[in-house]
Amino acid sequence: MQKHAFLLYLKKFGIQIISWAATLGIFLLLGGLTGMKPQIWHYAVLLSLTLLILSLFIQYLAERRRMEQMQEYRMRLPEIPEELSSPASPSDAEEQEIIRMLQTELKDRTTQYEKHQSDMLEYYSMWVHQIKTPISALNLLIQGSGSPLQGEMDLELRRIQQYVDMVLSYQRLGSDQTDFLFQKTDLDRLIRACVKNQSVFFIRRHLSLDFQPTEKTITTDRKWLAFALGQILSNAVKYTKEGGRIRIRAEQGPAAVSSDANRINTPDHQSGFLLIIEDNGIGIRKEDLPRIFDRGFTGANGREHQKATGLGLYLTSEVLKRLGCEISAESQAGQGTRMIVRFPEEEKKLFA
């Protein structure tokens, strides 16, 4: 880095060196024409060269200090101190004025962005609460309609409710106002609540559930973990054919992860336990598997079945990260999907 800085310095002050060389050449020429003694111009050359080197060295040290200071500013971006170092030249003063103008512009834009995000979150929160009223009214109308399509209408209404909750979760997750509250939680009770929310879909599609109690008590945010597990269950139900099976169980450590290449984000060998939710549904294509946790990615299944928003697994992954967990997936097309959530040891858990 210092060598590079020195080369840039020589490039910047090359004109000064060329001017000195030209002046020295003229001096030597005039000295030769006037018969100046060699001892005199030897001393003159030595003295001028010494002054040049000393001048360049002093300027180099000043330039290097300035570059180090600029590197420090760059490392601290965007929090550049209000008071910059004293300018050494008019060009330095002009550069510092530009920096101050950019700082002011950045602060203004940041304030505008934060206000926009706050307004958007407030709007979506209000919208979600408002939309729940007609949803509840529709639910009452459907239950009392006696229509032969009552079951199908109830199913679609529940899907609308899920998408409404997803919108609000998406907004809250990207906000500084995310309301995480960590407390001791019975994992089995939370899983049963998630399954209960999906019970209508289980019944309508004649799906069987194999739930092996985990007997685990964890420290987590109940609402957000329920949202994440609910999204995983929703996907399992959505892409499992009628009469299929969904299995939920826990295993200790990484033993549950197979050596199959058709997996993504395999949990490492840290201690903790794994919660596994697997189905025997349509599975995920190998080429789609690495991207299933990307925002907006729907893959071949989403395009063919037109049931995906591309947000469910992305939100699930982001929520679990903030809860100190990890999620991975294993799947083969036509053979089902296994979602693996790793919960770390309680004493090592990092909370968002």
CA–CA separation, 341 and 326 (whole Å): 6
- The pLDDT of residue 170 is above 50: yes
- The pLDDT of residue 154 is above 70: yes
Q: For 94-150, write each residue's pLDDT tens digit.
A: 777 777 787 788 888 888 888 887 787 777 778 777 887 888 888 788 777 777 877
- The pLDDT of residue 310 is above 60: yes
CA–CA separation, 165 and 302 (whole Å): 20
CA–CA separation, 117 and 176 (whole Å): 9
Q: For 226-255, write each residue's pLDDT tens digit.
A: 999 999 999 899 889 888 999 999 998 654
Residue 83: count other Cβ atoms within 10 Å of its Cβ.
6
- The pLDDT of residue 62 is above 50: yes
Q: For 5-41, write each residue's pLDDT tens digit.
A: 566 666 667 777 777 778 777 777 777 767 777 777 7
259 or 47, which is more confident? Answer: 47
Please give the pLDDT value at position 303: 56
Please give the pLDDT value at position 254: 55
Q: Model-level pTM?
A: 0.62
Q: Could you tell me which of 265, 302, 306 has the C-alpha nearest to residue 284?
A: 302
CA 287-293-294 angle, to 5 degrees, is: 85
Query: 247 with 195: CB under 8 angstroms?
Result: no
Please give the pLDDT value at position 118: 79
pLDDT-wise least confident of 76-80, 174-178, 258-262: 258-262
Length of the chain: 352
Q: Could you tell me which of 323, 54, 303 has the C-alpha nearest to residue 185?
A: 323
What DSSP string runs through 283-339?
---TTTGGGTTSTT--HHHHHHH----S-HHHHHHHHHHHTT-EEEEEEETTTEEEE
Helices 187-197 and 222-238: crossing angle in degrees, nearest 10, is 50
CB neighbour list of residue 119: distance below 8 Å, 6 or more residues apart: none
CA–CA separation, 74 and 67 (whole Å): 10
Query: 190 with 229: CB under 8 angstroms?
Result: yes
CA–CA separation, 197 and 202 (whole Å): 10
pLDDT cut 70: percent of the chain above it: 78
Please give the pLDDT value at position 168: 73
- The pLDDT of residue 85 is above 70: no
CA 157-239-267 angle, to 5 degrees, is: 115
- Averaged pLDDT score across all residues of the chain: 78
CA–CA separation, 113 and 259 (whole Å): 46
CA–CA separation, 101 and 99 (whole Å): 5
